[in-house]
Amino acid sequence: MKRLLSFFAATALVSGVATSCCDQACKPNTLTDKEKAEGWVLLFNGENLDGWRDFNGTELTNGWHVVDGCIQASGEGGDASGYIVTEKEYENFELMWDWKLTHGGNSGMLYHVVEHKAFSVPYVTGPEYQLIDNEGWEEVNAPTKLEEWQKLGVDYAMYLPDYAKMKVNPVGEWNTSKIVFDNGHVEHWLNGEKILEFEAWTDDWFARKGSGKWENAPEYGLAHKGHLCLQDHGDPASFRNIKIKELPKKERGEQLLFNGKDLTGWELYGCMKAYVDAEGNLVTENGDEKQYGYLGTREYYKDFDLTVEFKQESNGNSGLFFHSFVTGYNTVNGWQCEVAPKGNDTGGIYESYGRGWLVQIPDEKESILKEGEWNTLRLRVEGNKVQTWLNGEEMISLDDEAFGNSTGRIMLQIHDGDNIKVLWKNFCLKHI
């Protein structure tokens, strides 16, 4: 029955698009001179889907098409497919778009989506402005009821709107939504009214992330920059007047990643022990299972210059990961600046998936490592270039496009094996 209703509703939607588009006072999918002067840019030209492609793809194959100046989702998608993304990534912005749904329709606009083969769907990384016909969806799917965190306008499974401010046009008519993401400050707007606002990456935000739908999605919402994404969730939907104005990034300067008191700002994965000793050092060592373990920042970092001191006690087989993320219990995807016993390329760069060693250090530089003493490691990542220094001596310099196309956590590794223990202190990161 739902498919029949969707079919007839989709037919009505397509046939009504031309009239509703042409009746607008201003021509759809255009910018006024004032908007151009303010920095607005169209993401849809009204004629084709240039600038859009499949999530994790190189072309457009998901059944999306242009009808009478509107992007239309065919309704052939579902939870596991039907997503298209912008080719460009965005960080801070105002994003506006018009949308309309069929009876019982379900769709969404996502942002800060991270693409990687390890992520089969975009919503495990990208927050979503939910688009859904609340009442119609419950009629079509009776007796199932929507949870509050699934309804129109929510920051999906995180924050609820002020329902008193929501003015929604009937199904089949156009609505206008806006997302503001300004250096962590987030707003949702609907038909000219602000319905929701919150601050990302606060303690409250992390508490919500860790206790609900995203409890087992460790990378949800951490990216500061990513693709925009439209969702075909099995129901026809139409979009037009998609436009964006990028906002400036605030300068952040230096940041201490470790406070010398506790593990605030870090998250533990896999099998390892991590704690702060009496001298204020961060200690990482084997867990009882003696398997791989990781301690990662709660934040993503892209371009940075990081210095940290470490001391290897016993077997110091570890590593400093960057542009990394977690999948599963103790699997990390990303790049590792090696920290290991002498003769094992401390300061070299290893890729944890696919290519393995990208660059190892010259044999004559192995003596720079001071075993059983404090060492200073410097890691600089900027665009496609990665450089490392150990105790003031350059170890490697590497250019690779993969670095520039990625972002992620900084993580400390404990290797599998026995009797591994490393002390860390003075994590100083300079944002570039």
Question: Residues 372-413: pLDDT tens digits?
Answer: 999 999 999 999 999 999 999 999 999 999 999 999 999 999
Domain span at residue 300?
Answer: 254-431
pLDDT for 2 beyond 50: no
Q: What is the pLDDT of residues 202-226, one digit of tens each?
A: 999 999 999 999 999 999 999 999 9
For residue 297, give the nearest of 268, 264, 326, 266 by alpha carbon.
266
Q: How confident is the model at residue 316 (pLDDT cuts 50, 70, 90)?
A: confident
Q: Is residue 175 within 8 Å of residue 112, measured between CB atoms?
A: no
- Give the residue from 216, 246, 276 where a domain finishes: 246
What pLDDT does residue 334 have?
Answer: 95
Q: Let me know whether 189 and 323 are in one domain.
A: no
Say how far apart CA 124 and CA 216 lie, in whole Å: 9
pLDDT for 19 beyond 60: no
Q: Let me know whether 213 and 304 are in one domain.
A: no
Cis peptide before 143 (omega within 30 of 0): yes
- Give the residue from 246, 264, 288 where a domain finishes: 246
Q: What is the pLDDT of residues 325-373, one digit of tens each?
A: 998 777 899 999 999 999 999 999 999 888 999 999 999 999 999 999 9
Total domains, the chain? 2
Lowest pLDDT segment from 194-198, 259-263, 285-289, 358-362: 285-289
pTM of the model: 0.90
Q: Is residue 86 within 8 Å of residue 43, measured between CB atoms?
A: yes
DSSP secondary structure, 268-283, as one string: EEESEEEEE-TTS-EE
CATH code at position 310: 2.60.120.560
What pLDDT does residue 20 have?
Answer: 40
Q: Let me know whether 274 and 374 are in one domain.
A: yes
* β-strand partners of 244: 41, 95
Q: Let me know whether 355 and 237 are in one domain.
A: no
- Give the residue from 246, 277, 296 where a domain finishes: 246
Q: How confident is the model at residue 13 (pLDDT cuts 50, 70, 90)?
A: very low
pLDDT for 46 beyond 60: yes
pLDDT for 282 beyond 50: yes
Q: Let me know whether 199 and 133 are in one domain.
A: yes
Q: Let me know whether 188 and 275 are in one domain.
A: no
* β-strand partners of 239: 71, 99
Q: Let me know whether 372 and 267 are in one domain.
A: yes
Say how far apart CA 72 and CA 230 lie, in whole Å: 10
Q: Let me know whether 203 and 96 are in one domain.
A: yes
